């Protein structure tokens, strides 16, 4: 008799079957024009974090946990000497290897972080699109291990979702018995403190689009194409950057925000 799958195994199996809809996308089903704009903005933010981190490329290393098709892996590789890109979903892993073939400093590994046996300590760890499906216990164990493998002063960049005033725990439509967890910012602050990490910043990583309630209709009509234009991407980036600089989390545009959470290990 086949043993029941663990929650993590179910999550990996889902991504293995569903895949990602494009290199730019963090999800299996999304408007290609909007994800192109989203990725432009998020990539710029990650590049800025690396450029201002004080990390020297000469001997720096990083790890991309849940690397997907490598959209953040490649950015890390341009700034670091070595990048470990972990992707446990086999269908995504094979495409990750192909996408990163031009970078000799990327080592792609077909495993999840919890199973990854490493002696390395890293200057930066990126965790993207993983933790919203994890229970609190799973998040706790993953972040504990991340903190243990960070160099002093090292960064953790978590791309996840937050809500303003009440935890949202929504049954998952694709993980049997699983949930999507949309947590409060203080949850992450308390967790960081437990592992001697300083949560230095939480900021909205994706742009707020005009008339969000009509965005689905805009996509169906093909009108979202305008957001894939270079000038539109730059304008949306500047708008999102302005919110970051002012410390604005735009819950008026959406009750669930996609954010970057930046933690630094204490020296």
Q: In which domain, by residue range, is 238 found?
A: 7-265
Euclidean distance between CA atoms 255 and 237, whole angstroms: 20
User: At 135, which CATH number?
Assistant: 3.40.50.150
Euclidean distance between CA atoms 194 and 124, whole angstroms: 19
Coil, strand or helix at 109: strand
23 in a structural domain: yes
Structure tokens at 121: 């300590």
Length of the chain measured in residues: 267
pLDDT by residue for the chain (267 residues), tens only, comes to 455 679 899 999 999 998 887 777 777 667 888 899 999 999 999 999 999 988 877 789 999 999 999 999 999 999 999 999 999 999 999 999 999 999 999 999 999 999 999 999 999 999 998 899 999 999 999 999 999 999 999 999 999 999 999 999 999 988 888 999 999 999 999 999 999 999 999 999 999 988 766 666 777 777 788 888 999 999 999 999 999 999 999 998 899 999 999 999 987
100 in a structural domain: yes
Name the domain count of the chain. 1
1 in a structural domain: no
Q: How many CB atoms lie within 10 A of CB 266?
A: 10
Asked whether the beta carbons of 109 and 160 are under 8 A apart, the reply is: no
pTM of structure: 0.93
User: What is the torsion angle, in degrees rounded to the nearest 10, for the CA atoms of residue 26, residue 32, residue 38 and residue 39?
Assistant: 60
Q: What angle do CA 145, 15, 146 make, to 5 degrees?
A: 10
Structure tokens at 12: 């990996």
2 in a structural domain: no
194 in a structural domain: yes
């Amino acid at each position: 008799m086949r043993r029941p799958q663990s929650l993590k195994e179910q999550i990996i199996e889902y991504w293995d079957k569903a895949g990602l809809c494009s290199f730019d996308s963090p999800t299996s089903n999304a408007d290609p024009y909007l994800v192109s704009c989203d990725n432009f903005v998020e990539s710029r933010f990650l590049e800025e974090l690396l450029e201002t981190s004080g990390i020297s490329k000469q001997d720096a290393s990083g790890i991309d946990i849940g690397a997907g098709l490598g959209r953040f892996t490649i950015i890390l590789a341009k700034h670091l000497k070595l990048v470990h890109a972990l992707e446990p979903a086999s269908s995504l892993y094979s495409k990750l290897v192909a996408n990163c073939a031009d970078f000799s400093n990327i080592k792609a590994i077909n495993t999840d972080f919890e199973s990854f046996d490493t002696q390395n300590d890293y200057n930066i760890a990126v965790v993207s699109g993983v933790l919203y499906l994890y229970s609190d216990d799973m998040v706790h164990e993953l972040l504990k291990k991340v903190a243990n493998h960070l160099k002093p002063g090292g960064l953790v960049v978590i791309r996840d979702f937050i809500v303003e005033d009440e935890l949202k725990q929504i049954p998952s439509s694709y993980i049997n018995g699983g949930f999507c967890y949309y947590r409060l910012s203080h949850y992450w602050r308390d967790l960081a403190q437990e592992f001697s990490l300083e949560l230095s910043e939480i900021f909205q990583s994706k742009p707020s689009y005009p008339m969000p309630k009509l965005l689905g209709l805009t996509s169906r009509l093909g009108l979202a194409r305008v957001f894939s234009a270079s000038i539109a991407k730059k304008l949306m980036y500047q708008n999102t950057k302005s919110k970051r600089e002012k410390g604005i989390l735009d819950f008026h545009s959406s009750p669930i925000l996609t954010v970057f959470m930046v933690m630094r290990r204490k020296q």
